[in-house]
């Protein structure tokens, strides 16, 4: 038995602090239970900023790139995750975002085994990303549901 919930990115950004805190708590709980899985990341210190940029330029880069900026006198948080990310084909993955970034994330998830995606993009696709989306849906065995309606009103989040 599964439940599907979604919210628009704009509604999250415009939500009050209490709602944002609730979302944060739910996500943390989902991560602890293994329901929500963080993406793999590569960390760079501020002194290695140019290496981070080179890493992003690498076409095979399929992970988050993080530049650690710390306040004077504060210690950096340790980087502990080195596991790769894989998707289960029978699960539904929810993507909420603006611009064309969601198409790249959808491609990334499909490459890792996802076959069911639910997308709330927030904006229309550019012609280039529209072609990429069409290629993704026509060449891969994947079901993608895209909605343009707000998924949640701020008062109901």
Partners of residue 145 on adjacent β-strands: 118
Is the domain of 17 the same as that of 90? yes
Is the domain of 90 the same as that of 80? no
The reported pTM is 0.44
Rg (CA), the chain: 17
What does the pLDDT read at residue 21? Answer: 87
Is the domain of 119 the same as that of 155? yes
Overall domain count for the chain: 2
What does the pLDDT read at residue 64? Answer: 66
What does the pLDDT read at residue 5? Answer: 57
Is the domain of 31 the same as that of 100? yes
d(CA 147, CA 119): 6
Helix (H) or strand (E) holding 19: helix 17-33
Is the domain of 48 the same as that of 112? no
Of the residues 84, 117, 146, the one at which a domain ends: 84
Structural domain for 54, as ranges: 40-84
Average pLDDT, 10 consecutive residues per value, the chain (157 residues): 58 81 86 77 74 69 65 50 66 74 81 82 76 78 69 49
Partners of residue 120 on adjacent β-strands: 96
What does the pLDDT read at residue 75? Answer: 55
DSSP track, 73-106: TPPPPP----------TTSEEEEE-STTHHHHHH
């Amino acid at each position: 038995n599964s439940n599907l919930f979604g919210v628009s990115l704009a509604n999250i950004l415009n939500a009050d602090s209490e709602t944002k805190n609730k979302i944060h708590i739910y996500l943390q709980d989902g991560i602890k239970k293994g329901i929500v899985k963080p993406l793999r990341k590569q960390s760079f210190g501020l002194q290695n900023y140019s290496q981070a940029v080179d890493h992003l330029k690498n076409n095979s880069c399929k992970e988050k790139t993080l530049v650690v900026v710390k306040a004077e006198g504060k210690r950096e948080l340790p980087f502990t995750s080195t596991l790769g990310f894989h998707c289960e084909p029978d699960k539904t993955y929810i993507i909420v975002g603006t611009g064309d970034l969601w198409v790249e994330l959808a491609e990334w998830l499909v490459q890792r085994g996802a076959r069911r995606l639910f997308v709330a993009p927030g904006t229309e696709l550019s012609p280039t990303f529209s072609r990429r989306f069409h290629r993704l849906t026509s060449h891969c065995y994947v079901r993608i549901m895209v909605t343009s309606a707000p998924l949640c009103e701020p008062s109901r989040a």
